[in-house]
Chains A and B, each alone.
Chain A
Amino acid sequence: MSTTAIERLRAETVGIEVESPLLGGGTRQFVNLDNASSTPTFRPVMNKVDEFLRFYSNVARGTGFKSQIASWAFEESRRAMARFVNADPKGDAVIFTRNTTESMNRLAALFPFKSDSIVLTTTMEHHSNDLPWRRHAQVVHARVLADGSLDMEDFAAKLRQYRGRVVLVAVTGASNVTGWVNPVHELARLAHEAGAKIAIDAAQVAPHRPIDMRKPDDPEHLDFVAFSGHKTYAPYGIGVLIGSKDLLHPPVPSLVGGGAVDLVTLDSIVWRGLPSREEAGTPGVVGAVALAAAIAVIESVGWDAIRRHEEELTRHTLERLSQIPGIRIYGSTSTVDLSRRLGVIAFNLEGRSDALVAAIMAYEAGVGARYGLFCAHPYVITLLDLRQREVERIRDQIAMGNMAGIPGVVRASFGQYNDRSDADALCESLTAISQGKHASYQSDPRTGEYRPTGHERLRPEDYFSLNPC
């Protein structure tokens, strides 16, 4: 039987074979459905990192053999990032950061805002694409429709309403909660028509869909793109910000120190050009190499194969989930057209809190999912249709340090290495929960986390030790 590249890659997922302890005693192979949060890495990526570490040395101005290899590998990785999103090799800079959050903070710090500038974003954003703008400009949020997708009419209306003042549009490529994919090029055209630039938070979309910034003179071109290694099978502490050099070049860099300058005297400084001036200190060379390797793995599998596989998985899951009594899926539930969504599925089970459901899945089925508000509080609050008074009550409760009973949703999210057995494990666990077949749990009022009643806490040190000797 011939296997596809995607099937072979499953075996190459580092830690795919790890057994999770279960409540009743015994274990089962851990089912990782938390890929929208962070992905594992692949053996070819890890092996590449280990190989590179043989040559690791600091970059820039080192004259030794290893420094030359490492400097080259770092700059080659940068070019791989630019090609991955089809950036303009001349006009765009690729800045290595720690993660998308830092990239967005960086863009917010560098972008030439004026005092009355407005950033138009949406209600579906991750905080990392909302909070950084709030400190540099007035932020206006385009609404979402009842199904959680972006309300395009409201988006266009807000662009019109604030025309001339909206200097930047910042939207996510896809929601980290419902998986809705935004029509970024259409939004780019609207933004450009209104005289604004557009930045895409591509953290979620990068591992699932090709990103094409397009030519600078294309009205649908993307001015800025940011994404993270840790969601793209390279969890080695690296992220990128890519975009127009002209707009990332204020008089002084955002962070200052070694590597950002050509000369420092007691009274004056000669700053370097981009990207060095925005990479103060020793950069994440290993992370950059890892991300370049991960991109090569993704491209070897091919976008068509990845999309087809993830769509099939999502369709299968949505079909099975729809048969579970009391389940409510947020976002698109269509199993016909999956072109506008990723394999990120948010849901709740009637009568059981998100935190409880996630705990049962973990302790009784070995399924790693996530629950809560997903750093997208305004969006989840909208999806749950919470009233203003309820939100205020929650805020007061949180301010008192009590996280118990905070509303939220459960999220399962696929990576390209997941298969039907993973989806089935999720659905079987949820079916059992809906039938009341689960142990009893109690919640920690401080964190809101559920743990099985009468059981000892999991001891991570039984499984992993930090001691290298």
Chain B
Amino acid sequence: MTFIEKLRAEVVGIDVQVPLLSGATRTYVNLDNASSTPTLRPIAEKVDEFMRYYSNVARGTGFKSQVASWAYEESRNIISRFVGADPKKDTVIITRNTTESLNRLAALFPFKPDDIVLTTRMEHSSNHLPWRRRARLVQAALNPDGSLNVDDFAAKLKEFRGRIALVTVTGASNVTGWVNPIHLLARLAHEAGARIAVDAAQIAPHRPIDMRKRGDPERLDFIAFSGHKTYAPYGAGILAGDKSMLCASEPALVGGGVADLVTPHSVVWRSLPSREEAGTPTVVGAVALAASIGLLGAVGWDAIMEHEAELTRYALTRLSRIPGIRVHGKTKTDNLEDRLGTICFSMDGKPAQLVAAVLGYEAGVGARCGQFCAHPYIFALLGISDADAEKLYESASCGSLADMPGVVRASFGLYNDKSDVDAFCDCLEAIARGDHGEYDTNPKTGERWPKGRPKLNPADYFSLAPRLPA
């Protein structure tokens, strides 16, 4: 048994049984890792162990406060090393998630009034909307296979040269799994006098990230990622990057911990990272993320990449044989270096919401369907014109989301194995044969549930009420 195979047994909740429409149960198959990952027992245990020492950080003099403050700062150091940040010139700010990190960067980055942010059409809303309110946004186009059109990217850099202050791209698509050549993009951005930020939420659990040394033309200036996609769903995210550009005249959020002195009319602000961590920080989340990084390090990137590529190859091969399935993005299986195990697809004649519902109710497979907070990208993949998108905008404005076109996504974590892929593909084969139950549709949301069946009652499986001491 390899280390990665052993780790599967350590996934918290890997053994959870789910009820099926047939009346039977089966072990849940989690293929929604691009959305959020479960945690692993060594991480959960580390968190529980840390809870014995938990105390507020900074200025507490007691034993526990010293241990907790050390653990928090040491977690920051581990995160900094994980992304290859410069220990002196970069800072690591602990946030809630990547979305907050990118909003923070957008709030702090020293934009001038006519600045442009160059991004791509494949971004998640979190690497799109924050920039819209701070600068003019230009989006590089895509190739027909959904990958970034690097020629168009370079052309846009040339076209707007001198005005592009920041390039911001995802490390990998959360829809198709395409991996972007971030260091090449960094070189192009720097040659054009721009900085580069990488939304690493998707890529962080799958590939090593290296911001590289200062002075390297391929260096990444800013990195953001989340614990909840990296096996540490304890509410921490990070923003790492160049201190000198994250030190605005005032912090983004204000309150406790950001000021050395406050009088009724004046404030002496602290330095980074404290000044960007107003209030009590997410110490437990940071410790969990550090533990997760420790665990990823123990598995090793080569093993992770090899295992996930094999799974992806196997899944793509099986999917290619199922009639009516159209995989969006890269379908070739010879070289999987430039894609993650995130697979999105459509099925002829079967709406995405129906396919996802059948997977859930009839095969115990947790996948996801919809637009994945990347609406412009989905519309491009599905060939929906900008004019049609505006029509959808009007119907969404009226509260109707039922007809929104979408895709189904299955995404692997390092703990998934071939049996998960088989469960998923077996179910899709059945759907392709029309071998599935009947479903009702919620006219407002488009959500499907089995016809004539009561809704799942979560309270039968989990209660919020804690078990109290007798």
Interface residues in chain A, defined as those with a beta carbon under 8 Å from any beta carbon in chain B: 5, 8-9, 11-12, 14-15, 18, 20-21, 30, 32, 34, 37-38, 40-48, 50-58, 61-69, 72-73, 76-77, 80, 98-102, 104-105, 123, 126-132, 134-135, 141, 228, 230-231, 235-239, 252, 255-270, 280-282, 284-287, 289, 292-293, 296-297, 300, 355, 358-359, 361-362, 366-373, 375, 377-378, 381, 391, 394-395, 398-399, 403, 449, 458, 460-461, 463-464, 466-469
Closest to B400 in A: A262
Evaluate contact between A55 and B61: CB separation under 8 angstroms: no
Q: Judge if B98 is at the interface, Cβ distance under 8 Å.
A: yes
Evaluate contact between B67 and A463: CB separation under 8 angstroms: yes
Picked from B46, B267, B396, B468, the residue with its CB within 8 Å of the CB of A270 is B396
Interchain nearest-CB distance for B401 vs A (Å): 6
In angstroms, Cα B64 to Cα A464, docked, is 10
Q: Judge if B126 is at the interface, Cβ distance under 8 Å.
A: yes
In angstroms, Cα B285 to Cα A132, docked, is 25
Interchain nearest-CB distance for B278 vs A (Å): 5
Picked from A40, A126, A296, A372, the residue with its CB within 8 Å of the CB of B59 is A372
Evaluate contact between B228 and A58: CB separation under 8 angstroms: yes
Residues of A within 8 A of B261 (CB): 373, 377, 394-395, 398
Within 8 A of A (CB), among B1-49: 12-13, 16, 18-19, 28, 30, 32, 35-36, 38-40, 42-46, 48-49
Known: A38-B280, A280-B126, A398-B260. 5 other contacts (CB 8 A): A18-B63, A126-B256, A257-B373, A261-B125, A361-B61
Contacts A37-B60, A56-B38, A391-B263 given; indicate if A293 touches B256 (C-beta within 8 A). Answer: no
Evaluate contact between A102 and B369: CB separation under 8 angstroms: no
Stretch at the interface among B229-237, B238-246, B314-322, B426-434: B229-237
Q: What are 26 of the A-B contact pairs (CB < 8 Å)? A: A34-B65, A38-B54, A38-B56, A46-B48, A53-B38, A57-B30, A57-B32, A63-B366, A80-B464, A98-B235, A131-B259, A235-B284, A237-B283, A264-B128, A287-B235, A289-B464, A368-B65, A377-B261, A378-B263, A395-B261, A395-B268, A399-B268, A464-B53, A466-B46, A466-B74, A468-B291
Residues of B within 8 A of A375 (CB): 255-257, 259, 262
Minimum-distance CB pairs A-B, first 4: A368-B62, A64-B366, A281-B99, A101-B279
Within 8 A of A (CB), among B255-289: 255-264, 266-268, 278-280, 282-285, 287
Q: Judge if B75 is at the interface, Cβ distance under 8 Å.
A: yes
Residues of A within 8 A of B46 (CB): 466, 468
Picked from B40, B50, B279, the residue with its CB within 8 Å of the CB of A102 is B279
CB < 8 Å A-B pair total: 429
Q: Judge if B66 is at the interface, Cβ distance under 8 Å.
A: yes
Evaluate contact between B253 and A102: CB separation under 8 angstroms: yes
Q: Judge if B393 is at the interface, Cβ distance under 8 Å.
A: yes
Q: Judge if B113 is at the interface, Cβ distance under 8 Å.
A: no
Evaluate contact between A367 and B62: CB separation under 8 angstroms: yes
Residues of B within 8 A of A355 (CB): 61
Interchain nearest-CB distance for A444 vs B (Å): 12
Evaluate contact between A127 and B255: CB separation under 8 angstroms: yes
Evaluate contact between A18 and B18: CB separation under 8 angstroms: no
Evaluate contact between B99 and A280: CB separation under 8 angstroms: yes
Residues of A within 8 A of B458 (CB): 68-69, 72-73
Closest to B74 in A: A466
Picked from B70, B100, B357, the residue with its CB within 8 Å of the CB of A281 is B100
Interface residues in chain B, defined as those with a beta carbon under 8 Å from any beta carbon in chain A: 12-13, 16, 18-19, 28, 30, 32, 35-36, 38-40, 42-46, 48-56, 59-67, 70-71, 74-75, 78, 96-100, 102-103, 124-130, 132-133, 139, 226, 228, 233-237, 250, 253-264, 266-268, 278-280, 282-285, 287, 290-292, 294-295, 298, 353, 356-357, 359-360, 364-371, 373, 375-376, 379, 386, 389-390, 392-393, 396-397, 401, 404, 447, 456, 458-459, 461-462, 464-469
In angstroms, Cα B228 to Cα A135, docked, is 32
Residues of A within 8 A of B370 (CB): 61
Contacts A264-B129, A281-B99 given; indicate if A293 touches B60 (C-beta within 8 A). Answer: no
In angstroms, Cα B234 to Cα A98, docked, is 11
Contacts A65-B18, A378-B264, A466-B71 given; indicate if A101 touches B256 (C-beta within 8 A). Answer: yes
Picked from A38, A77, A257, A266, the residue with its CB within 8 Å of the CB of B130 is A257
Counting chain A CB atoms within 10 Å of each CB, the highest count among B96, B132, B266, B366 belongs to B96
Interchain nearest-CB distance for A413 vs B (Å): 11
Picked from A18, A80, A282, the residue with its CB within 8 Å of the CB of B52 is A18
Evaluate contact between A102 and B99: CB separation under 8 angstroms: no
Closest to B369 in A: A63
Evaluate contact between B70 and A460: CB separation under 8 angstroms: yes
Closest to B25 in A: A65
Closest to B399 in A: A262
In angstroms, Cα B364 to Cα A123, docked, is 57
Evaluate contact between A77 and B282: CB separation under 8 angstroms: no
Residues of B within 8 A of A128 (CB): 254-256, 278-279
Residues of B within 8 A of A293 (CB): 464-466
Residues of B within 8 A of A255 (CB): 99-100, 103, 130
In angstroms, Cα B142 to Cα A266, docked, is 14
Counting chain B CB atoms within 10 Å of each CB, the highest count among A255, A369, A399, A466 belongs to A466
Picked from A30, A57, A105, the residue with its CB within 8 Å of the CB of B63 is A30
Interchain nearest-CB distance for B207 vs A (Å): 20
Residues of B within 8 A of A468 (CB): 40, 42-43, 45-46, 291-292, 294-295
Evaluate contact between B36 and A30: CB separation under 8 angstroms: no
In angstroms, Cα B330 to Cα A422, docked, is 63
Evaluate contact between A53 and B12: CB separation under 8 angstroms: yes
Residues of B within 8 A of A239 (CB): 279
Contacts A48-B466, A50-B44, A57-B30 given; indicate if A256 touches B255 (C-beta within 8 A). Answer: no
Evaluate contact between A460 and B71: CB separation under 8 angstroms: yes
Contacts A105-B254, A263-B396 given; indicate if A58 touches B36 (C-beta within 8 A). Answer: yes
Closest to B70 in A: A460
Interchain nearest-CB distance for B397 vs A (Å): 5
Picked from B369, B376, B464, the residue with its CB within 8 Å of the CB of A265 is B376
Residues of B within 8 A of A38 (CB): 54-56, 280
Residues of A within 8 A of B389 (CB): 265-266
Residues of A within 8 A of B35 (CB): 57-58, 62, 282
In angstroms, Cα B130 to Cα A280, docked, is 11
Residues of A within 8 A of B139 (CB): 266
Contacts A257-B124, A463-B53 given; indicate if A55 touches B64 (C-beta within 8 A). Answer: no
In angstroms, Cα B256 to Cα A65, docked, is 40
Evaluate contact between B71 and A464: CB separation under 8 angstroms: yes
Interchain nearest-CB distance for B409 vs A (Å): 10
In angstroms, Cα B38 to Cα A52, docked, is 11
Residues of A within 8 A of B253 (CB): 101-102, 105, 132
Interchain nearest-CB distance for A13 vs B (Å): 10
Residues of A within 8 A of B100 (CB): 255, 280-281
Residues of A within 8 A of B360 (CB): 63-65, 68
Contacts A15-B53, A38-B56 given; indicate if A368 touches B61 (C-beta within 8 A). Answer: yes
Evaluate contact between B32 and A131: CB separation under 8 angstroms: no
Picked from A130, A300, A466, the residue with its CB within 8 Å of the CB of B291 is A466
